[in-house]
Chains A and B, each alone.
Chain A
Amino acid sequence: MSDKPAHWTMETFATIQTMKFVAGAGVGVAAVAFADPGLAGILGFWVIACIINVWVVRFLGDFSHWLAPVLFGATVLLVWEMVVAVYAISPVILPAPSAIAAKIATSLPILWTDFAQTVLKGAIPGFLIGASAAFVTAILIDRSPFLQRGLLPIGNFVAALPIVGLAPILVMWFGFDWQSKAAVVVVMVFFPILVNLVAGLQASERMQADLMATWGASYWQALWKLRLPAAMPFFFNGLKIASTLALIGAIVAEFFGSPVYGMGFRISTEVGRLGLDMVWATIAVAALAGSALYGLITLIERGVTFWHPSQRH
């Protein structure tokens, strides 16, 4: 333990706080136990899990970095499982996590086909095409104030179109397969990336632009060596926002016509057949895919913008 008095006092304080919490929660759980023993059990478990997590964060230091979120996630799943079991909730309203896991385990080939169709063919190509198009457009806009006045409002207008209106039109244009989904994603991700990058290109300081001028740098030299690197934190903000939009766009677009596979197709048909466990299984895959995409972008961002104050650790 630390020998610093201030540190010691803080830990004592925290321990006292924890004890107060335990005492208060214990009284609460005891009171509930009279009315609803099942609920008391669930609450009791929740309180114990909370205490374990607090202690993990406090005393396991480095481990807690990944252990605490894992514990929290496991707690949520277990409480969910208990609630479904104790109150015998209909699987149509809320299937238990174990039921969803079982469904995932038995439906892996279907889930993979859906994932490949929606994420690998729809969302990711659409995202890449939209991001590239936004990148090129941002530089065109940067080059010409005329385009800045003309293109940004058009981009704004397209971004304001509701996806439920746009998706059926694009399905008519590009067919039922993944091409129309990618097109929806392109439209959805284009504007947030564009706006962020245009703002980023204007973010470099006047003084640094002046320095470039004193060195006799050309437009492209200044763009490549100063303004694009300075714009990267903005660009990655746009990419992160767009990554979640890409998945939503690819899934929702399938509601308006698709082959007989795809995550959006699966959700809409299984809802009709009351196969809610399959809907939840698909949602779980979507959540995992979305987190993975977001995490990947965050990882690349950390490498590219390591110099930005928000990334220095």
Chain B
Amino acid sequence: MKDTLSVGAPVIEAKGLNLVFQTADGPVHALKDVNLTINAGEFVSFIGPSGCGKTTFLRAIAALEHPTAGTLTVNGITPDEARRKRAYGYVFQAAGLYPWRTIAGNIRLPLEIMGFSKPDQAERVARVLDLVELSGFANKFPWQLSGGMQQRASIARALAFDADILLMDEPFGALDEIVRDRLNEELLKLWARTGKTIGFVTHSIPEAVYLSTRIVVMSPRPGRITDIIDSPLPRDRPLDIRDSREFIEIAHRVREGLRAGHQDE
């Protein structure tokens, strides 16, 4: 009951979405007939092999790519308008922190660009640093931090301006298993505390199942959605839920979906 109540109105709506890249080797059909609605407060993972269009779809939501056919709306407006209204924070696979700025300076950067007042900036930086447990590192430079800490700082940066949507493109892909587990746990806590809508691209089946309320399975050439799996797992998830029967069943279904997509070729 709690789950259905906390999921709100549609935030991201894609209808008949197509995206074709013109390359030197001819057109590449990156997204074909994608239909998907993501509601407020959902945690949706996109999983699939390379070239399935999961990153392209996320980038299209963020207006970093432009669909060639179909409609895509974010909060009822076009992605470009949503971008200008700063509707989302985007986290990339690499932390992408600026080496000439301190951790606090990096988190302050989007706030400076968006014209927040100085006291507001300081207050927000302190709050998100605390949220990702990096409070003691405000004045360190990125290269003085481990990869996991850098990625936490980049998440803090995406959270600082309080966008309702968080788009994450394999944010933990370059980190080792142990760090990834801890960050996954922290991300779930953060999601529970902030109630944000999260779109999350991953290669990892356990990561997708552990984090998501819904898992979108995609398949390449052309990039398309082959299965959408609603997770019956409760919102509150300890790490050892991954040994439960439900978890293993969902993981199995995701794996089957990925395999089916592969056989279609």
Q: Which residue of B lies closest to A211 (CB)?
A: B96
A210 CA to B63 CA, complexed, in Å: 10
Asked if A102 lies at the interface with its beta carbon under 8 angstroms from chain B, I say: no
Asked if A208 lies at the interface with its beta carbon under 8 angstroms from chain B, I say: yes
Asked if B51 lies at the interface with its beta carbon under 8 angstroms from chain A, I say: no
In the complex the two chains form, is A210's CB within 8 Å of B112's CB?
no
**Chain B 96-140 against A: per-residue CB contact (8 Å), 1 yes, 0 no?**
101110000000011011100000000000000000000000000
Q: For the complex formed, measure the closest distance between the CB of A125 and the CB atoms of chain B, giving whole angstroms.
A: 30
Q: In A296-313, which residues have CB < 8 Å from any B CB?
A: 305-309, 312
Binds B, one of A49-57, A103-111, A212-220, A260-268: A212-220
In the complex the two chains form, is A211's CB within 8 Å of B84's CB?
no
B100 touches which one: A205, A216, A221, A229 (CB < 8 A)? A229
Asked if B64 lies at the interface with its beta carbon under 8 angstroms from chain A, I say: yes
**Chain A 203-238 against B: per-residue CB contact (8 Å), 1 yes, 0 no?**
001011011111111000100011001100000000
In the complex the two chains form, is B143's CB within 8 Å of A307's CB?
yes
In the complex the two chains form, is B109's CB within 8 Å of A225's CB?
yes
- Interface size grouping (class) on chain B: 20 to 34
In the complex the two chains form, is B114's CB within 8 Å of A215's CB?
yes
Q: For the complex formed, measure the closest distance between the CB of B60 and the CB atoms of chain A, giving whole angstroms.
A: 13
A305 CA to B145 CA, complexed, in Å: 19
In the complex the two chains form, is B86's CB within 8 Å of A207's CB?
no
Q: For the complex formed, measure the closest distance between the CB of A226 and the CB atoms of chain B, giving whole angstroms.
A: 7
Q: A214-B83, A216-B83 are in contact. Are A207 and B94 (CB under 8 A)?
A: yes
In the complex the two chains form, is A214's CB within 8 Å of B62's CB?
yes
In the complex the two chains form, is B113's CB within 8 Å of A225's CB?
yes
In the complex the two chains form, is B113's CB within 8 Å of A307's CB?
no
Q: Which residue of B lies closest to A216 (CB)?
A: B84
Q: For the complex formed, measure the closest distance between the CB of B111 and the CB atoms of chain A, giving whole angstroms.
A: 9
In the complex the two chains form, is A215's CB within 8 Å of B143's CB?
no
Q: A207-B96, A208-B96, A307-B141 are in contact. Are A213 and B109 (CB under 8 A)?
A: no
Asked if B222 lies at the interface with its beta carbon under 8 angstroms from chain A, I say: no
| Residue of B62, B110, B161 with most partner-chain A CB within 10 A | B110
In the complex the two chains form, is B109's CB within 8 Å of A210's CB?
no
In the complex the two chains form, is A229's CB within 8 Å of B98's CB?
yes
- Give the residues in chain A near B89, CB-CB below 8 Å: 214
A210 CA to B90 CA, complexed, in Å: 9
B64 touches which one: A208, A213, A307, A312 (CB < 8 A)? A213
Q: In A4-51, which residues have CB < 8 Å from any B CB?
A: none
Q: For the complex formed, measure the closest distance between the CB of B140 and the CB atoms of chain A, giving whole angstroms.
A: 12
Additional 20 contacts, C-beta under 8 A, given A216-B84, A216-B113 = A205-B96, A207-B94, A207-B96, A208-B96, A211-B90, A212-B113, A213-B83, A215-B110, A215-B113, A215-B114, A216-B85, A216-B86, A216-B114, A221-B113, A225-B109, A225-B112, A229-B100, A230-B98, A307-B100, A308-B99
Q: Which 6 pairs show the lowest CB-CB distances between chains A and B?
A: A307-B99, A307-B100, A215-B110, A214-B90, A217-B113, A215-B113
23 example contacts (A-B, Cβ-Cβ < 8 A) are as follows: A205-B96, A207-B94, A208-B98, A210-B64, A211-B90, A211-B92, A211-B96, A213-B63, A213-B64, A214-B88, A215-B86, A215-B109, A216-B86, A216-B113, A217-B113, A221-B113, A225-B113, A230-B98, A306-B100, A307-B99, A307-B100, A307-B141, A312-B143
